A and B are shown apart, each in its own frame.
Chain A
Amino acid sequence: MFQSFIGSLEAGIIFAIMALGVYITFRILNFPDLTVDGSFATGGAVAATMIVAGYSPFVGTLSAFLLGLVVGSITGILHTKGKINPLLSGILSMIALYSINLRIMGRANVPLLGQDTLIDRMESFFSHLFSSNYVLLITMALFVLIIKLIVDWFLDTEIGLAMRATGDNPRMIRSFSTNTDNTIILGLALSNGLVALSGSLWAQYQGFADVSMGIGMIIVGLASVIIGEAVFGDRTVRRATIAVIGGAIIYRLVIAIALRVGLDPSDMKLMTALIVIFALVAPRITASLREKKRKSDRRKSGSASVEG
């Protein structure tokens, strides 16, 4: 029981990297990017294939990140230069990547059993420094925090500010000499780089890469962003990025509990979709209920004063 709790935390932290990527497109650029489903699997495919081929897991993981950058920029180019609608550009990349991922792996599944992965390296390196059952968990948490700090820093730089304004008020930032095509492409590249990095770590963590491992990832990412913002708040970028990480972890815990209660693993995509739907709809319903209550309260107090 406890071990599976730790497992969920570890998984949540790996997925948090992907959720940070989704945050960049969905919230910062205001661009619902569906490339994620493809690029997550691309990350896993590249890392697994290279590790099996004998490359160092560092090289494999870094390559996954770099290819993610490329894949994201292609979606960006489709949208900005090809003038294709954001959703469709993402879907096109996602579908194309399915074939590409199969090409990279050469088959639908690449096992990593007995291979030296980055996860093993981290675990053995840090267990020299301190010994604990939580070595991997702590190491991964530090890794994600570093990524969060880098994302925070980037979004505060001159280029980062221009990127945030691109999602917020593109007309305004163009009048301040920013080529919004470039900021969109850069944002999509970074986002998918993080997603592919997350995919490569996930493949190394679970011990295999699978061509279908990315299916539904965009919804998992969205669920993490929305849950995180709802629970931890999103007043500033720094706050939102830590919230997104928290959201990813909560999501994994919820899924773990659902499985424990006896739900079938194959129902998890439905669960995830329901969580996102709930998170999107609930605020509106509570707001309209609050509004109704406010009005009826006013009517009551109004009629009371007439009577009095």
Chain B
Amino acid sequence: MLKLKNILKIFNEGTVDEKIALSDVNLELAHGDFVTIIGSNGAGKSTLMNIISGVLLPDEGYVEIDGNKVDHLKEYQRAPMIGRVFQDPMAGTSPTMTIEENLAMAYARDKKRGLRLGVNQKRRQMFREHLESLHLGLENRLTAKVGLLSGGERQALSLLMATFTEPKVLLLDEHTAALDPARAQLITNLTKEIVEQHHLTTLMVTHNMQQALDLGNRLIMMDKGQIILDVSEEEKKDLTIEKLLSEFERLRGEKFASDRAILG
């Protein structure tokens, strides 16, 4: 479903600030794979997300979605195929617009936008049903402005908006990192529910190792722009944080260093 081949990305090439963000990254996800990605700061996780979504173009290599190369497509042209939730709860929604208007924009993702009304009775009913699946009571607040929602509510809405049109690939970029633990847990549970329900091919970056172990059927560890560990579903079942850390030490000959990695 998603394939990355020999991806190379260098920032500020030829200057003193030159940084190899990704070097020779190869990754292939089958339909319905749910892959969690962990790695220390600067490992290239976010760059990887930006390369897939088309915010950045790779210097070498290519990205394939559903068997088609997408390198010539800009971000907005890939967007019909890719759902994305950002770390910042403010990033995924439009604050001055209402809940139903936000959903209408997400609904139009894989359709050609025209002069039809964004919200009509039929769509409103559909939006309401989808919102019910979040169990937050948002279905009763369709005309509330999204700017009035809490961070957790906004992130839940972002998650719904990114997924309910069933994109071919779902990218989750530390989407629980900015929330308090209770809210983060809520969003984590919703993520699991929604991904399973729609069988979405998902790539999730996280700093929370426990989350990376709990979710998904495959785990990838990145360091210094490379994928250094790829754990399959079978091996992942009896993986623990301790094993993961010692595996990192064995591979890299140094301790896993991240000021933000959460062990618990």
Residues of A bordering B, CB below 8 Å: 153-154, 156-162, 164-165, 168-169, 171-180
Contact = CB atoms under 8 A, between A and B. Distances in A.
Given A165-B94, A168-B94, A176-B108, A158 B116 contact: yes
A175 B158 CA distance: 11
Given A158-B118, A173-B105, A177-B80, 9 more contacts: A157-B114, A157-B115, A161-B97, A161-B118, A164-B94, A175-B53, A175-B75, A175-B79, A179-B76
B9 interface: no
B88 to A, nearest CB: 10
Interface of B: 53, 74-77, 79-80, 82, 84, 86, 90-97, 101, 104-106, 108-110, 113-119, 161
Contacts of B94: 164-165, 168-169, 172-173
A303 B80 CA distance: 61
A65 B74 CA distance: 33
A177 B114 contact: no
Contacts of B84: 175
Main secondary structure of the interface of A (DSSP, over half): helix
A158 B75 CA distance: 19
Given A161-B97, A168-B94, A177-B76, A156 B110 contact: no
Contact of B108 (A158, A169, A171): A158
B114 A159 contact: yes
Contacts of A174: 75-76, 79
Contact of A157 (B53, B75, B118): B118
Contact of B96 (A156, A168, A176): A168
Contacts of B93: 169, 172
B105 A161 contact: yes
A21 to B, nearest CB: 19
Of listed A154, A161, A175, A177, residue having the most chain B CB within 10 A: A175
Nearest to A164: B97
A43 B170 CA distance: 48
A177 B101 contact: no
A210 B6 CA distance: 63
Contacts of B53: 175
B106 A165 contact: no
Nearest to B113: A158
Given A157-B116, A158-B116, A161-B104, A178 B76 contact: yes
B76 A180 contact: yes
A165 B115 CA distance: 16
Contacts of B105: 158, 161-162, 165, 173, 176, 178
Nearest to A168: B94
Contacts of B79: 174-178
Contacts of A162: 105, 108, 113
A156 B118 contact: yes
A161 B103 CA distance: 10
Given A157-B115, A158-B115, A177 B95 contact: no
Contacts of B74: 179
Contacts of A161: 97, 101, 104-105, 108, 118
Contacts of A154: 115
Contacts of A172: 91-94
Nearest to B82: A175
B113 A178 contact: yes
Contacts of B110: 177
